Homo-oligomer: A and B are copies of this chain.
Amino acid sequence: MTDRIAIVGIDVGATTTSAGLVTRDGEILAFAQTPTRTTGGGTPVDIVLALVSELTARARGRGIALAGIGVGLPGLVDAEKGMMIYAVNHVPEFAHLPLADLLRDSTGLTTFVDNDVNVLALGGHRFGAGRGADSLVMLAIGTGVGGAVIIGDTLVRGHAGCAGEFGHFPIDPRGPLCRCGNRGCLNAWAAGTSVAERGRERAVAAPRSTLMDLAGGDPNEITAELVFRAASAGDAAAGDIVAEACHALGVALGAIMSGINPEVIVITGGVAESLMPLAGEIRRHAARFALPQAVASTTIHLVPGDKRRTVLGGAALFLYEVDRRRTPLESRRA
């Protein structure tokens, strides 16, 4: 019998939506996940409502009181309004939908909504690699590159909610085209979709390669993970792509250390696992692009993406907002 109060943490990902019952100490009492988009299973919004119902029922069954809900969404979120105001491609259904109100009305629970990487950073700062740090910057590298900034006890959302958009850091204006229309953004070098796309282009141009072999001869099978594997197996084109991604990450990390000089930088997300063996190289690149004092004082962690961390983040968002608004953390109906 542990803490009998829990928070529902939700993360809506491009492919998977996760939910958990999390105690104030970061213990996960229950965890569930489901595809974000199912054939015939309703919209991604229905999926969230169904997961919340499932977890509140589980809590009720186990006598756990619920304090509230925290949700991470993949897009630009107006945290005050509790809704996404600009969606990335995956989940347009959430754009301009007052999700916090919707969940509060359907559950009676206080609900906070924020950008998924902000949520992940709050989780890392409260429960994870950044616990106790006076400042933390998170870089989440998955299909795209997202980011978040925590200074002191404040999540820096930015004047229009755009802070932490490190994916659009200008690395090299002569670089590849980014979705945003600019050239050479960090996204265009290091995001999973960019690494995969660049891998496909190179494999098509040079089909007799380790990369193409690993893809079974079908360039459409090339993923970012495959490019990293091919690079470590000695494939020259894949090696170039990975080296350029590491260089771009180094430039971005240098700029972050020069601009913010945080105590901790956490690199996470779906591509982070592939980057783990390259941690030393990434740190060496980063050290070239900032003052030695900044480099020496900032710790860079690589943390593999893990859906359990995203639901911890949802709980951390709720606790952060409660602290910030000085609302007493009392249990509401379970």
Contact = CB atoms under 8 A, between A and B. Distances in A.
Interface of A: 76, 86, 134-135, 147, 149, 151-152, 154, 156-170, 172-173, 180, 182, 251, 254-263, 288-291, 293-294, 296-298
B260 A170 contact: no
A170 B289 contact: yes
A135 B134 CA distance: 19
A296 B159 CA distance: 10
Interface of A is mostly: loop
Nearest to A261: B158
B162 A294 contact: yes
Given A152-B154, A170-B251, A182-B289, A159 B297 contact: yes
Given A151-B154, A154-B152, A288-B182, A258 B165 contact: yes
4 smallest beta-carbon distances between A and B, as pairs: A158-B261, A160-B297, A162-B294, A162-B261
B258 A259 contact: no
A240 B156 CA distance: 37
Most buried by B among A162, A257, A263, A294: A162
Nearest to A288: B182
